[in-house]
Structure 1
């Protein structure tokens, strides 16, 4: 893109220098950040870095998770007793 042919999406008073490869918005020199050899705006760069970091922290236990865990333990406990009854017969 030729400098001056567009205005920066984030700074309309500044001339655009390039285009973000992710969102395709015109960005100025201050907004352009190269990551992995590709120009990205700050918003897209933050999203890219977040994706590279992987999943976030594990969430706290909810009531549904506790109920599911208790039902699962009861099922396993019952299954063990059924199998023990078959083996004892």
Structure 2
């Protein structure tokens, strides 16, 4: 801001992100090595840009398209641990 304060973008979980929204994955809210390894294998790591392309009803999975065009299916449990901020379209 003009006063020199740093504004923090409000983070939302991937599970809360609306279909059609492009976001930047900021944080993983888990330290479980197995989950972190799985997310890394799926290229779902902080800094990746992704677009929510579909979400199944009744706590079903969220389908995302990564910046390289690949798609990933993310279960509800993991989607609640992935914290994102709106992408500025870079």
TM norm structure 2? 0.20
| Bigger relative contact order, structure 1 or 2 (CA pairs below 8 A, ≥6 apart) | 2
> Between Structure 1 and Structure 2, which shows a larger proportion of helix residues?
1
TM norm structure 1? 0.20
> Between Structure 1 and Structure 2, which shows a larger proportion of strand residues?
2
